[in-house]
Amino acid sequence: MKNSYKICLLVFFLPFGLFAQDYQEYDISIAGISIGEMTATRKISGDDSQIDVRSKVGFWFFGKVELDFHTVSIFKGTHFIKSEVNSKTNKGNFRSLITWVNDHYKVISRNYKYELDTEVRKKMFFSSSSFYFEEPKNVSEFIAEGYGLVCPVVKHKDYYEVNVNGNRNRFYYINGKLDKAVMEFPIKNFVMKRKNL
């Protein structure tokens, strides 16, 4: 009986020893009107980590716009290894893939009115998804999973600004945790506000 009890305890606690998980929720709004939600989850197992970012929004912009967006990014230690971005929209479905191969990244990016097939020949240690879990205090550049572009990070007084394919986005942190992000959009900026800071 004692042995069975010990086995039950081992089985129950084993998953918690294998990985740690951080989960965050954000409200997405335009001009103060909620248009959807986003979740970001990071799982850490030993030196490896995986970040999942999911969002779903719907709004009017010269017609109904619907977007279901999912990014998975994988790191080996601090080294960014791979990402896959899938977006389902009423304008079509799109996929972007970045993979580390020997000494470079192979980039195949497909977005609405945007395509890129290229190689990035240097290691990256920060990605778009990283902003949700780490304040980029000593980060000068990152890789944008959806576009396959290496982009600069500029520190301002109370926020960090990035320029991704011509869009200037701002990230605001409180005590090292992301409080909100303001994403540039032609009609009005998106605001992503964290629910559980």
Please name the helix (run of DSSP H) or strand (run of DSSP E) that holds residue 29, with its range, or none: strand 20-30
> Above pLDDT 70, what percent of the chain?
87
Q: Judge whether 178 lies within some domain.
A: yes
Domains held by the chain: number: 1
- What band does 187 get if pLDDT is binned at 50, 70 and 90? low
Question: Residue 12 has what pLDDT?
Answer: 38
Give the separation between CA 117 and CA 127, rounded to whole angstroms: 18
Domain holding 135, by residue range, is 19-194
Q: Judge whether 13 lies within some domain.
A: no
Q: What is the DSSP string of 95-124?
A: EEEEEEETTEEEEEEEETTEEEEEEE-S--
pTM, two decimals, is 0.86
pLDDT in tens, 90-130: 878 999 999 999 999 999 999 888 999 999 999 999 999 99
Q: Judge whether 93 lies within some domain.
A: yes
